[in-house]
Structure 1
Amino acid sequence: MSLSVSELVWPYLPSLSVGAILGFCAGFAVKRIGRMTVLLVGLLFLALQILAWQGLLTVNWGRVQALAEPWVQRGGREFGAWVLGIVQTNLPFGGGFVAAFLVGLRAR
């Protein structure tokens, strides 16, 4: 008795489709929020530089880096663990989620 491809895929289709839909939405949202965050950080940096150029403000960039570095490192580790947890927990859902998340990041 041989099974067709559709019979093999059918039980996993709900998990794959829900994971793909949620992954695309998450990727698209991360992209939009990321763009807004980059814009705001850039404008803040520009404002600080203008104030420093005018002599109104002195910024200790070494201290800023020392404060921001642990947050950036922790965020990278936690995001990686989050994605790995999704993929390991429920492979069809996680596979669809991660693939569609990447597509959502690339969507216009």
Structure 2
Amino acid sequence: MEDLFPVAGQLTFGAVAGFLSGYALKKVGRVLAFLLGILFVTLQLLAYAGYIEVNWTRIQQDVEPFLNQDSLEGLWSEALKVLTYNFPFAASFTAGFIWGLNRG
């Protein structure tokens, strides 16, 4: 029974750290999405008013490589690798992280 206490502590800490990381990431992601939306609306308003001309084709060409499926999967894989590096409780961290993303 005494052998279970250190393991339980590691699992609890891993789950809490994962939850907080996932929760924070989702909140930051929402703020970034909001800011990108505001940027888009601002650019459209300035273009409509004739102050600027936006080359949307060029923007699409520059941004598209970052948004393909392989790139996103690689980013997710690398993020989990960094977040769980040297953690003996990686499984509980990952579970807590996903829970935090869902709750955030």
Secondary structure of the residue aligned to 2:51 is coil
Matched, 1:13 2:8: yes
- Kindly report which structure 2 residues correspond to 1:19-34, keeping only aligned pairs within 5 A, or say none: 19-34=14-29
Q: For residues 99 and 54 of structure 2, what CA distance do their matches in structure 1 show?
A: 39
When normalised by structure 2's length, the TM-score is 0.76
Residue 94 in structure 1 maps to residue 90 in structure 2: yes
Report the 3-state secondary structure (helix = DSSP H, G, I; strand = E; otherwise coil) of the residue aligned with 1:59. Answer: coil
Q: How many corresponding residue pairs? A: 102
Distance 2:26 2:32 in 1: 10
Q: Helix, strand or coil: the match of 2:89?
A: helix
After superposing on structure 2, the runs of 4+ consecutive aligned residues of structure 1 that deviate more than 3 Å are 6-11, 69-76, 84-90
List gaps (5 residues or longer) in structure 1: 1-5
**Distance apart, 1:107 and its partner CA:** 1.7
User: Cα distance 1:16–1:104, how it changes in 2: closer, same or farther (>3 A)?
Assistant: same
Aligned counterparts of 2:52 and 2:99: Cα–Cα separation in 1: 43
Larger Cα-atom Rg:
1
Query: CA 1:9–1:70 in structure 2 vs 1: closer, same or farther (change >3 Å)?
Result: farther
TM-score by length of 1: 0.74
Which residue number corresponds to residue 78 of structure 2?
81
Instruction: Tell me the equivalent position of 1:53.
Output: 48
Of stretches 27-36 and 6-15 in structure 1, the one that deviates more from structure 2 is 6-15
SS in 1 for 2:25: helix
Cα distance change, pair 9–85 in 1 and its aligned pair in 2 (3 A): farther
Q: Secondary structure at the match of 1:68?
A: helix
Q: Distance in 2 between matches of 1:100 and 1:52?
A: 44
CA apart distance, 1:8: 8.1
